Copies of this chain bind each other. A is one copy, B any other.
Amino acid sequence: MERNYSSSENGRDGRVVCVTSGGTTVPLEQRCIRYIDNFSSGHRGATSTEYFLKAGYAVVFLYRRGTYQPYCRSLPEDPLLECFEVTSESNITVHPSHAKAVKEAVSEHRAAVIQGTLLKLPFTTIFEYLQILQLIALSMKSYGPRAVFYLAAAVSDFYVPWESMAVHKIQSSSGPMDMRLAQVPKMLSVLRKVWAPMAFYISFKLETDTKILLEKADMALKKYNMHMVIANELLTRKDEVIAVLKSGRITVRRDKTQATTDVEDPLVKLIVDRHSAYISSES
């Protein structure tokens, strides 16, 4: 993977960010039919990836299969079937109403992949997620403070340990089902301290209860020694987030005077500024 991240290929002094996106799953059976899933559309990760690329970063996009992809946010749910029509024996045409969105998606996405500034790696289960994250981190370690981890994925807190997992499909005939889920070991500590200790770290807290959100963000900042924790409230997260830093809290808002703006635009700008300061301070 190193080849893609050489400073000559990156636009901005060899900076690289690993953006994690979407939710992980936890199997409930060894031959898995049922699993617990964490809801996340991947919108935050996909949008942020676009702004990081624009800011000149190389991006490793570690995403849950089936979630939002960079440059594809304005496409309908099933773009191939909804955007195209067959106009003659040999021609497939884009509907005029979707032409702009389709062209942007195809061209900007392809440009990033061809330039070597966007590497996309999919996962489904938490086990895949953690293993690929470790590989990425070990590859990015050599970038020192120029590496960023932007951990927007919704990672499961609970799982069923393999040895206590049912081998076959759990049967439904015998009344209610009782499950005991164990806590997932907090690998964030290992990532932070061992896998890539010099990198710049941003993690996310999503809660539906505003009261405990900032409290938990403060705790995560200290416990995992993050450089920034982004506090999201489920219902307002596309308009506003709070960046929690050691030096205080910064509210980041979408520019609502314009319809097509994203909160990720000012958020990534803030991160790039702080990351620049971090690189200076470390070198």
Contacts and interface: CB of A to CB of B under 8 A. Distances in A.
A187 interface: no
Interface stretch (A65-73, A246-254, A266-274): A65-73
Number of copies: 2
Given A80-B105, A168-B208, A183 B178 contact: no
A85 interface: yes
A206 interface: yes
B33 A36 contact: no
Interface in A6-52: 25, 28-29, 31-39
Interface string A141-164: 000000000000010011000000
Interface size class, chain A = 35 or more
A77 interface: yes
A71 to B, nearest CB: 8
A75 B81 CA distance: 12
B175 A183 contact: yes
A36 B28 contact: yes
A194 interface: no
A193 interface: no
Nearest to A38: B34
A278 B62 CA distance: 52
A86 interface: yes
A54 interface: no
A168 B83 CA distance: 38
Contacts of A105: 80-81
B206 A177 contact: no
A32 B39 CA distance: 7
B234 A31 contact: yes
A179 interface: yes
A38 B29 CA distance: 11
A181 B78 CA distance: 33
A34 B33 contact: no
A222 interface: no
9 contacts: A35-B36, A37-B37, A79-B79, A79-B80, A80-B83, A80-B106, A81-B110, A171-B212, A176-B180
Nearest 9 Cβ contacts at the A-B interface? A157-B172, A31-B208, A86-B107, A168-B209, A177-B181, A79-B80, A179-B179, A168-B208, A37-B37
Interface of A: 25, 28-29, 31-39, 65-66, 69, 72, 75, 77-81, 83-86, 92, 94, 102-103, 105-107, 109-110, 154, 157-158, 167-169, 171-172, 175-183, 206-209, 212, 234
